Amino acid sequence: MLKPIRTALAAAFFTVATFTVAAQMRTDHPATYVVKRGDTLWDIAGRFLQKPWLWPEIWQANPQVRNPHLIYPGDVLSLAYLDRVTMQPGARSDAPITGVPLEQVEPFLKNLRVVDSVDSLPYVLAVEEDRLRAAKGDVVYVKGLDNAQPGQRYAVVRPTVRYTRLDRTQCCDLMDRQDLDFRGRRTIDFDRYWTNVVVPNKGHEPLGIELMQQNTGTISRGEVGGIQAATLVLDDSAREVRPGDRLIPVEAQTYDLQFFPHPPKQQFEYGRARVIASTDLLTSAGSRDVVALSVGARDGVDNGTVFSTWRVGANAVDRVKRGNHRSEDTYGRADRVRLPDEFAGHLMVFRTFDKVSYALVMDSIRPTRVGYELKHPDAPY
């Protein structure tokens, strides 16, 4: 099993030269620490710093460290003084420990992406032998690849949900997600029918359509000799493919090779930045689960951005003053007291799109649920 992948932050202790950073040092730290094979920078920083994700600021205060992203097993980190932490090089027989290596987090990531529309994407029209599903080694027939050439590779993706945001003047934005059918069109949700009537679709800002990668394949024959569909041979054992799934070109490098955690570039208005979905259509996420966020590149979010997640404080009825003789929904705003938000954990963005981003839950004291507020990683409340 992989070591806790609390991703990397921190080759950090090479030196702490400022009082501000030194104040973050735990009081029970040892005099030295020897870097071990399998360590991650987040883990090392978490042992000795109260705020382990702060390692980039620590390095900036210590220009004598040539490369903060490369420490090696055997390096000795001196923690003897709160105002000075230095590194004694060890042997260089093992590979270095870098920021947040992709290999340590990739097994937990999901091949998800967000697009504005799927209408123009090629799609799977049928499966060989008129079957309903296809897997590795099977052939599917694709419509919309007029100029496809043998050897070209494509990822087969499935539209799953459509994210929207309603910009409300009172309190918080209203985030919504709508399930899509096999064609990528919205399905009727009778449980939310009246909500969609009261808040019509024209009042929503589309955030994008989520595509989940199902498989990959290689074109073996284009639309030639009167044939009106291209032939794609599936070559991955991931998920089954069905008619209606869409195709996009395979990306050479889907993720960054390493991530360098940092706080968000701006403070968001309350209710603007929230968790809008969890892995595999669940409603909550724990450590190493993937969540979707309602902010993206246009909001200044980039790969490595770290947020803390918070359960939004409830509006509890003050039954001591108002009495306990009425049902919950008969109490008005004046009868209620706003309770504090409750901290859940930290997450790090690993893939960013214009209006939506995906993040990995790095650590948590309780599950992170859909609707939780995103704040600065050091937010006190």
pLDDT tens figures, 75-123: 766 554 434 445 555 665 665 555 555 665 666 567 888 899 999 999 9
The predicted-structure confidence for 24-47, as pLDDT tens digits, reads as follows: 545 555 667 777 877 666 666 667
End-to-end CA distance of the chain: 34
Q: Say if 264 falls within a structural domain.
A: no
Q: Is 369 left (phi over 0), alpha (psi -120 to 50) or beta?
A: beta
**Range(s) of the domain holding residue 72:** 11-107
Backbone angles phi, psi at 224, to 5 degrees: -130, 160
Using the 3D structure, point to which of 82, 107, 132 is the last residue of a domain: 107
Q: What is the pLDDT of residue 298?
A: 94
Q: What is the pLDDT of residue 10?
A: 32
Which pLDDT band holds residue 60 (cuts at 50, 70, 90)? very low
Residue 231 has pLDDT above 80, yes or no: yes
Are 158 and 241 in the same domain? yes
Are 222 and 343 in the same domain? no
Q: Say if 146 falls within a structural domain.
A: yes
Q: Say if 2 falls within a structural domain.
A: no
Buried b (16+ CB within 10 A) or exposed e, 330-353: ebeeebeeeeebbbbbbbbbbbbb
What is the tally of structural domains in the chain?
3
CA-closest candidate to residue 377, choices 260, 258, 261: 261
Q: Say if 267 falls within a structural domain.
A: no
Are 284 and 182 in the same domain? no
Are 116 and 97 in the same domain? no
Which pLDDT band holds residue 317 (cuts at 50, 70, 90)? confident
Are 216 and 150 in the same domain? yes
Identify any residues that bridge with 77 across adjacent strands, giving them in sequence order: 33, 87
Whether the pTM exceeds 0.75: the reply is no
Residue 5 has pLDDT above 60, yes or no: no
Are 139 and 232 in the same domain? yes
Q: What is the pLDDT of residue 216?
A: 94
Q: Say if 262 falls within a structural domain.
A: no
Round to whole Å and give the CA distance between 124 and 156.
8
Residue 192 has pLDDT above 80, yes or no: no
